[in-house]
Structures are given as C-alpha cells and as structure tokens.
Structure 1
Amino acid sequence: MPGPLPQPLPPELLTSPEWQRACRERDFETVFRLVKVKAGIYPSRVAALCGLTPSRVGEIMSGQRRLAHIDVIERVADGLRIPGAMLGLAHRPWEVPSSAPISPTSQARSAPRDGVMGSDPDSDVEHQEELDELLSLADGKVTRSTLLALKSSVEDYWRRDDEHGGAPLRPAVVGHLRYVMEMMGSVRAPLRQDLQSLAAELARLAGWAYFDACQYSTARTYFTQALRLSHGQDDYLFMANVLSCMSLQATYEGQPSDAVALACKAQDTARAAGDQPLVMSMLHMREAFAHATLGDGSSCHQSIGRSRDAYENARDREDEAPSWVRYFDETKLIVDTGIALAKLGDCHRAEPLIAEGLRRETDAQQRGRAFHAFWLATAQLQQGRLEAACESAGFALDLSASLDSPRVAGHVREFHRRLAPYARETPVIVFEQRLRAAVG
C-alpha cells in the first residue's frame, strides 16, 4: 500500500535565497539539509520519498556524491514536491491540481456548461486565479502567497531578535532585503507598492540588527534606506519609528543632541498621522533618554511626564496602535522611566522602578531583561550596595547566555569597568568568576 503523499514545502523555504540558489545549481547537499532543517523531512524520509537508499542520501548530504542523472533529479523533485522550474525542469504533473473528489455540492458547481447542471462562474474564476497563482509561484514569480510568506519571515525575525539578539540575523535579513528589491523591478502596482513597504521594513530590521551589533555606520545606512523606501507611501508612523531607532542609536553613540533632534522630528512626523497616543508615549521616552544623557534633568522630567500622559490617553486604545509599538506597555513605561532616572544619577528613584519592570517581564523578552538587570545593578552600585549590584549583574549574565548582542556585551564591559575600585571585595571576585565562566 503506498504511503501518504508528501506535504508541500513551506512557502518561507521556497522563497528563501539559499534554497533558490541550491535548486538553481542543483546543489542537493544543501537541498536535503534545508528540507531537514526547515521542513522536518529527515534523511530516511527523503530516501523513501525519492526512491534512494539511505546510504546514498547520507553520501549526498556529506558532499561525497552528487546527483547528475535527470531521471533521479525528477524523482527528487516529485518526492519532495520541489516545483520543476526551480530545478530547471518542466512543470511536474502534480503541480497542476487534479480534480477533487466530487461531492453533491461540488458536482453541481463543476458540471459542464452544456450538462444538466450549470457551472458556477464565480467558482470557475476563483479556481483559475488559484491555478494562475500556483503556476506563477512555481515559475519563481511574485504572488500574494510570496508576499505573505516574506511578511511571516519578518515577524519571525523580530521575535528571534527579542529572544536572542539581532546580530546573528544580519545575513538573513540583508539577503531577504536584496531579494525583495530585485523582485520590485519585475512587478506592477499594487503588488509593487506592497513589496516596497516590505523592503522598507526589512531595511529598518537590518538597521536594527546592525545597531544591536554596534556597527553604527552600517546601521545608519540601512535606516536611511528605510526612510527613502517609505517616501511616497505616506506611512508617517513607519517613518517616525525609523527616526526613533536612529534617536536611540545616537544616544548610544554619545551624540545626545542629535538624539533629541531625531526624537523631536519623529514626534512631528507621527503627528501627521493623526492621534496616536501610544506612539507618542514611546517617542517622548526616546527624547527623555537623550535629555538624560545630556544631563538635562528638567527637560528629561518634562519628557517623562509627557510620555506618561500620552500613555494614559492610550489606555483601552491599544488595538488602534500599530503592532510594532504595542511592546510599549505599562511595564515598559515603568522600566524606561527608571532607566532615564538612572542615567540622570537619581538612583534611589530609579531602582524600584527597574526592579518592578523586571518582576513583570516575561522570559520571551530575554534581551530586554538582560539590559534591565544591568541597569538595576548600575542603580544599586550608585548607592554603594555592592553585593546587591553584583547579584543583579550575575542575573543579567545568566539571561545573556543565550544572546548574541554586542550591545548587551557593552553593558557587561561598562559595569565591569565600574567595579574596578572594588576589585578586592568578595562580591566582585565572585562576579568576575561568573563573568569568566560566561565568556569562556
């Protein structure tokens, strides 16, 4: 009895540049590796689906053998459901859907026009559109399905950025950006406009990933590209978001005056989109960070107040805010207020706010929690509470174990530098042991 038919490969795999290159070059070592990692099809299953022996699949995956015979390549295309065009083959028979089993309802819709039962014109149109889209995807053309798969990849990148840091995402994000930019030249509106918006978001994500890697010059290049791509889209909130990222980067670079100017420009840009209190709350906090870095206490407190007031106006209106700003919840407002106060040196007021934010945050916010734990340690050290500070910093080290974020590493180095006057104290010696174990 034949086994179940193989499932279609995931759209995000079919649209990935690495996959397309491997298929184009008939690099089956990479093809088999990717179907294992991205589609969960393990070598034994590959062998069964493609009519190969497990040992031969293993030799191909180890680079010891290559596939050259066209009949074997066709078996692989059919077994793994790889569209023929991707491997330089004709359309495979399974790429054109066969008729579905006929139920009484479907029979009424699919009977010939000259039969007793008339066909449904709307159903015919929908079927043709689905078929056209499927064949276009097999040819490597851009479809709505391609766009949805790419958007899903971007969402996954942001999730992985939160959990593990942005630095390791750079090659994949930049590759996706190049792929989308290439596709933009071969499509017409409105799909081209959607691709341009997606390219802008990928450019912002690339900028953020390079920012997290502390490669500020490259980050600015991608942030600038994101702004250029968003011109003509009238997406003022997106532009405000890019400007807010650039403001935060300027703060890290020790350019607080630029950070203030960028945060204020972001606020002006967001106002053009109408009433968006949650966005404004986040942008006022960006400005507060910049004023705190300048040591301007009065302006910093004013910005914190405006951020708090805007957040109160945003309560019960979260559904109206863009998805990218919904991370800025009450917990984030509390902890960011504490960080701004810590930057000003007001450690007594900063510590309980940061500690409360850490208590509320979830494990999914791994990088943010690591940052906040180091800021808590800094506030405690400013008060002379050496043991508590080292304990908080040790907790931050534990959180950062699964992160690849040079920004977090920078906080580790800065905190360690501040411990220099206490190098002979027991809490510092214990912390340095933990630090050596972590970096080793």
Structure 2
Amino acid sequence: MNGNASLSNAMRKWGLTQVGLADAVNVRLIDAGYEGTVGDRTVRNWVTGRTMWPHPRQREALEAVFGCTARSLGFSPPARQRRPASEVEPPVDRRNFLTASTGATAAVAVPLVGASPRVGTSDVSRLRIELDALTELDQSRGGHEALERAALAGAAEALDKQKLGATQRIRRKLFSVAAGYTSAAAWSAIDARQMSRASELLGRALYLAGLAEDADAEMRVWNSYAMLAHHRDRYAEAVDAAYAAQGTAIARRWPFFASLAHARTAVGHANLGDRQAALRSLGHAEECLDKAAGRPDPLPSWIAFYGQAELLAMTAIVRDRTGDAAGSEAASHQALAAIPQQFRRNRALVTTRLAMAQLHRRDIDQACITASTVFTLMSGHAIPGRMRSLLGDYYRDLITIAPDASTAREWGDRYRAEWSRL
C-alpha cells in the first residue's frame, strides 16, 4: 500500500506531527459544531494511504487546516464517487478561522478553481490587513494555538496566490506576506513555549524573507530568533541573532529598527554576565531611539510594540540581570506608565519583572502584591507559556529568598490556585 506523500509533505511543511494534526482537525470539527473524534490512529491511516477518502466533515476540517483541497493533499474518492473529469472541484469553504475576544475576525479564502489566475495588489493588501489583525490579537492576548493555526493558514494562502502572481513584483510581495504570517506563527509558538516548533517555523520564515528580498521580514525573523535563543537559555546564540538583526539593511537604514536590535543584544550580554557589553549595547539602543524621529511611516505592525516603553522594559531586564535591582524596579515603573493599555500581555510581563526586581530588593510583601496583579491583568484569557514560565521563576526565587514569610506562603497558595484554574 502506497503512503500519502502529499499529506506527509504538507505536515512536514507546517511542522505538524500526527498528534498535532489530529488536534488541529479536532479544533476545526468542534468549531463547526461536531465532536472532535480524530485521533493519531486516524491520521496514521491517512498518511499510510489506508484511508484514501476521509469522512466529509474530516475532509472539510483538513482543508481548513492546510488551506487547500483534499485532492491537493493526496486524497481521492472511490471510483463510484468520482465526478466526471469536466466537473470543477467546488471551492473550499474557508470559514473565519479566528475570532478575537474583541470581535475582530481574520479570514482566509482559497481562490476559486477556474477563476482568473491574476493576483494583484488588492490581494496583497487584504492579506496584510488580516496579518495586522492577528498581530493586534497577539499584543492583547499573547500567543496561543488558534492564533498560530490562523497565521499558518494565512501563509498557505499567500503561497498559493504567489504561484498566480501577475508580476514578479507581486510575487515577491506575496513571499513577504507569507514570511510575515510564518513569523507570526513562530512568535506565537515562542510565547506558548513550543520552542522546537518555533525554530522550524523561523527557519521557514527566513527562507521566505530571502525569496521576498525583504529586509523588514528578515529583521523580524532575527529578532524572533534572538527571543527564541533567550528562552532556550542559549544566550550566546541570542547575541549572535541580535547582531544579525543589526546587520539587516533596514536596521542600517532606520535607527528605530537598529534600536530594537541593540536592545536585544543588551539582554543577551546581560544574560551572559557581561555587564559592560550589556550597558554599552543599551546605550546604543537609547541613542538610536533618540534619532528615530525619521522612522518609516507607516510602521510595520509587528514592531508597533517597540518604543520608549518597551526599551524601558528591556532596560529593567538588563538592570536586574546585572545586579541592579533598584534600577530594574525604576525602569519597570517607567515602562508601565508608558505601555499602551491594549498591550495587555506586555503590561503583564513587565509587571512580573517589576515583582522580580522588588523581590530581589527583599521587599517581599510588595513583590507579592505586584505579582498577584498579573492574574488580574490576564483575567479572562489563558496565560501564555512564556509568562507562566516567568511567574514560575518568580515563585522559585520567592521560596528561595523568603521561604518562611507568611506573605510568600499566601502568594504560593494563590499561584497554585490560579494554575489549577488555567
């Protein structure tokens, strides 16, 4: 029995295991009002070719996950179900794939078979608008599985349309959009602490950015690589990725982008214990931001989070890692005063950093009060894996520094209660 090579290739392309694909299909089924009954055995039957034509509901869910028809995924109906060769395959009904808590919705549609093959500027603009909507959702809620799936669906559509691009210029723009969606998926995986999947996606995004000849997309990938290495505790790699970000054409051209790259470098040096290099890079970041009055307009949505507030938040990290807890606390307060209210995830992260600085100053009661507000900030939304890890770091430091303090015990009880609820 021959295996389904097309499905296997699609799974490798998007970094999906058999279990991961089963989960993704079940989410689609549940969203459509059905039970999520697909297991890894079902997927194994698809991959091996034992099941040549899945149940209609499963086919629709598969088509929604990958953004293409079941036939494109290597499936074919039994002879008695096959249509005449002249009959056109109906378009895939690509339902809205993500609905934010605010009501904002991003949707991806597969081109109609037999429609005009020309793809132009309007298609690129629509895809970019939908990518911006995902970015706004990430800034509010943080990374989560539905956001990652939505981003991968957007990348798939951009690549499908790239094959139909009217001009080479349009095709490059679609490669750029696909790189942006793939970077968004990778960032969501980082925020959820799915590090291996994030690494695979970033490699794909960097490849697409190269095809697009897009320095902005390359800068975005290297920034994410630096973050990925940071969360893997591979601090030398984080510094190397930050230097690569500094070397992109857009960072050389625009001080605003260079500032972010220098700030990432500072965090990497701080984690390596090189205080002098960290403060030097931090100084470069501040200088570049001061010069950034001529930043690009409009600013790409992925970097909209950066500015004086975010630099202060990164300064807090550098100060704390280099033994200046008082400086870290001051920078955290300044950052919280400046971070826009809609960046809920970022505000919660900085609040956790503030609690860490207060804890390292041995202000135990205030640190616990501050750390408790993180749960209030994220109320109504699951706490992303990256934030959960940071709160775990805070708790470990808390029980190390003040194991017998009543406030510490009370916060530990709250911490465990929140974890059991999430």
> What TM-score, normalized by structure 1, do the two folds share?
0.66
423-432 vs 303-312, greater mean Cα deviation: 423-432
1:216 aligns with 2:195: yes
Larger Rg over CA atoms = 1
CA contact 2:119–2:164 (8 Å) conserved in 1: no
1:102-160 superposed Cα distances (whole Å, 9 cap, x missing partner): xxxxxxxxxxxxxxxxxxxxxxxxxxxxxxxxx97994866444433322221111111
Asked if the contact 1:180/1:195 (under 8 Å) is kept, the reply is yes
Matched, 1:158 2:135: yes
CA displacement at 1:285 relative to structure 2 = 0.2
Summarize deviations over 1:381-420 as a string: whole Å, max 9, x none.
1111000110111011222332441001111111111122
Deviations 1:214-269 (A, max 9, x none): 11121111111111112243322321221111012111111111111111121112
Q: 1:313 aligns with which of 291, 304, 307?
A: 291
Q: Is residue 432 of structure 1 aligned with residue 402 of structure 2?
A: no
| Alpha-carbon distance in 2 for matches of 1:321, 1:276 | 11
How far the C-alpha of 1:282 sits from its partner, in A, is 0.6
1:372 aligned residue (350, 353, 365): 350
- Which stretch shows the higher mean deviation, 257-266 or 137-146? 137-146
Which residue of structure 2 lines up, in the alignment, with residue 332 of structure 1? 310
Contact 2:254–2:296 (CA under 8 A) maintained in structure 1: no
Residue pair 1:278, 1:321 contacting (<8 A) in 2 also? no
- After superposition, the Cα gap between the structure-2 partners of 1:317 and 1:231, relative to the gap in structure 1 and judged at 3 Å, is closer
> 1:318 and 1:352 mapped to 2: Cα distance?
30
Is contact 1:278–1:325 with CA below 8 Å preserved after alignment? no
- Is the Cα contact below 8 Å between 1:338 and 1:354 reproduced in 2? yes
Given the superposition, is the C-alpha separation of residues 420 and 201 from structure 1 closer, same or farther in structure 2, using an over 3 Å criterion?
A: same
Using a 3 Å threshold, how does the CA distance of structure 1 residues 433 and 140 change in structure 2: closer, same or farther?
Answer: farther
Contact 2:176–2:217 (CA<8 Å) still a contact in 1?
A: no
Answer whether contact 2:189 2:197 (CA < 8 A) is retained: yes
CA distance in 2, matches of 1:362, 1:187: 38
**Corresponding residue for residue 407 of structure 1:** 386
- CA displacement at 1:184 relative to structure 2: 2.6
Report the structure, 1 or 2, having the larger helix content: 1
Pairwise CA distance, 1:371: 0.8
Q: Of residues 184, 187, 212 in structure 1, which corresponds to 2:162?
A: 184
Q: What does residue range 348-363 of structure 1 map to in structure 2 within 5 Å?
A: 348-363=326-341
Q: What aligned pairs does 1:39-438 form with structure 2 within 5 A after superposition?
A: 139=115, 143-144=119-120, 145-168=122-145, 169-190=147-168, 191-270=170-249, 274-315=252-293, 317=295, 319=297, 322-401=300-379, 402-421=381-400, 422-438=402-418
How has the CA–CA distance of structure 1 residues 138 and 362 changed in structure 2, closer, same or farther, with 3 Å as cutoff? farther
Distance 1:194 1:234, change over 3 A: closer
Deviation at 1:309, TM superposition (A): 0.7
Specify the code of the residue in structure 2 equivalent to 1:259.
A
Structure 1 spans left out of the alignment, 5+ residues: 1-28, 34-84, 89-134
8 Å CA contact retained: 2:326, 2:357: yes
Give the TM-score of the pair, scaled to structure 2: 0.68
**Runs of 4 or more off by more than 6 Å in structure 1?**
29-33, 135-138
**Helix, strand or coil at the partner of 2:306:** coil
Instruction: Tell me the residue number matched to 1:24.
Output: none
Deviation at 1:313, TM superposition (A): 0.8
Alignment of 1:27-38 (within 5 A): none
RMSD after superposition: 3.0
SS at match of 2:167: coil
Listed as ranges, the gaps of 5+ residues in structure 2 are 1-28, 34-87, 92-110
Aligned length: 318
AA aligned to 1:327 is F
Secondary structure of the residue aligned to 1:315 is helix
Deviation of 1:322 after TM superposition, in Å, equals 4.2
Structure 1 pair 319–430 and aligned structure 2 pair: CA distance change class (3 A): same
**Alpha-carbon distance in structure 1 between the residues aligned to 2:31 and 2:393:** 44
Write the letter of the residue equivalent to 1:229. L
- Contact persistence 1:246–1:259 (CA under 8 A): yes
Matches of 1:428 and 1:241, distance apart in 2: 39
Change (3 A) 1:171 1:347: same
